[in-house]
Amino acid sequence: MKLAFVVDPLDEFKIYKDTTFAIMREAAQRGHELHATLQQGLAWRGGVVTANASRIHLTGEEHGTWYRADAPAENPLTAFDVVLMRKDPPFDMEYVYSTYLLELAESQGARIVNRPRAVRDHNEKMAIARFPEFTAPTLVTRREDLIRGFVAEHRDVILKPLHGMGGASIFRVREDDPNLNVIIETLGGCGARTVMAQKYIPQIKDGDKRVLLIAGEPVPYALARIPKPGETRGNLAAGGTGVARPLTARDRQIAEALGPVLNREGLLLVGLDVIGDYLTEVNVTSPTCFQEIMQQTGCNVAGIMVDALERQSAASRLSA
């Protein structure tokens, strides 16, 4: 296969933990051809969506230059067997514009992973609203009175913005918190921004579990991201420690319910966040944690991912 990755600058990769690198390495080991472009390398001209992409070659070095890049060349996205959108959030308007370009390329015959429209349609926090049977008590609103009422009802609550990532701007508040009003005002911009409130789940002490879905099927291990002492957030970016564990019965129930639904919509790779028995987020932009699970369990998650890409590519050729 000829694979194109839409990524952040390659020189910024932390290859010891980067999921995109793990996919690249697995694909290269199987003889697939790798290309990389930045978000700004995408263009629409002459009626065709193109990418200014470089073919890259992995060097095998871990502490030096891990890749060599050929001179960039302009190619239509239809020239690649698969285009993987692996640009990290934030999901800002430039990200949205990229999904428009990728969706147009899809209409011209390109195969995009994850499907651009599905990425746009699944805000990573709001997407849980489609599956209320698996969620803790949750409120989404700009109304400060409703947020205060939710805190009064549930007493111990997590407040977070809908656009956040990596645990940024997440607050744990209690009904007697003297800073409650100012936190609500600051987070919501005095009613200008939408806020999500969720009942605090005490099982966060055991980890915020990342459950991976690939082609609708759960990876058998989750990565429990355990908060550091004195911290509420388990995110690795916020100092959490990742511990790989087999899926619990509840993890598997959630994954098996959501997997086929999300896969049908074109979301080949999804990262579910589960705390205790509750679904808290559905990550679709650039799900991670492959390497941590692989290193701790031996489960070749990147291999499962490339298997799925190969199956899809073969099916696409047969139907052409």
What are the pLDDT digits (tens) for 76-87?
999 999 999 999
The helix (H) or strand (E) run that includes residue 45 is strand 42-45
* Catalytic residue chosen out of the listed positions 160, 199, 208, 292: 160
Q: Are 221 and 299 in contact (CB under 8 A)?
A: yes
Residues 149 and 143: their CA atoms lie apart, in Å, by 10
* Catalytic residue chosen out of the listed positions 26, 208, 273, 292: 273
Q: Where are the domains of the chain?
A: 2-122, 137-200, 203-283+289-308
State yes or no: is 87 an active-site residue.
no
Quote the mean pLDDT of the chain.
95
At the topology level, CATH places domain 137-200 in: Dna Ligase; domain 1 (3.30.1490)
Helix axes 301-319, 19-29, angle to 10 degrees: 60
State yes or no: is 155 an active-site residue.
no
Q: Can you say whether the dihedral through the CA atoms of 195, 39, 87, 123 is positive or negative?
A: positive
State yes or no: is 283 an active-site residue.
yes
User: Confidence band (pLDDT; 50, 70, 90) for 311?
Assistant: very high
In angstroms, the Cα distances linking 180 to 174, 177, 185, 277 are 8, 5, 9, 27
What would the CATH number be for the domain defined by 2-122?
3.40.50.20
Q: How many CB atoms lie within 10 A of CB 249?
A: 7
Q: Is it the case that residue 32 has pLDDT exceeding 70?
A: yes
Report the pLDDT value the prediction gives residue 82, as an integer from 0 to 100: 98
For a pLDDT cut of 90, what percent of the chain falls above it?
89
Q: Can you say whether the dihedral through the CA atoms of 233, 291, 308, 91 is positive or negative?
A: positive
**CA-closest candidate to residue 218, choices 165, 183, 176, 260:** 260
At the topology level, CATH places domain 203-283+289-308 in: D-amino Acid Aminotransferase; Chain A, domain 1 (3.30.470)
Taking only the tens place, the pLDDT of each residue in 213-248 is: 999 999 999 999 999 887 777 777 767 899 999 999
Residues 284 and 278: their CA atoms lie apart, in Å, by 18
For 97-126, give the DSSP string.
HHHHHHHHHHHTT--EES-HHHHHH--TTG
State yes or no: is 148 an active-site residue.
no
Q: Is it the case that residue 166 has pLDDT exceeding 90?
A: no
State yes or no: is 33 an active-site residue.
no
State yes or no: is 142 an active-site residue.
no
* Catalytic residue chosen out of the listed positions 210, 235, 251, 263: 210
State yes or no: is 70 an active-site residue.
no
Report the pLDDT value the prediction gives residue 257, as an integer from 0 to 100: 98
Q: Is it the case that residue 320 has pLDDT exceeding 70?
A: no
Residues 125 and 273: their CA atoms lie apart, in Å, by 10
**Collapsing DSSP states into helix, strand and coil, what is residue 192?**
coil
Residues 257 and 270: their CA atoms lie apart, in Å, by 13
Q: How many CB atoms lie within 10 A of CB 74?
A: 14
Residues 7 and 13: their CA atoms lie apart, in Å, by 10
Report the pLDDT value the prediction gives residue 168, as an integer from 0 to 100: 77
Q: Which pTM does this prediction carry? A: 0.94
* Catalytic residue chosen out of the listed positions 233, 235, 251, 263: 233
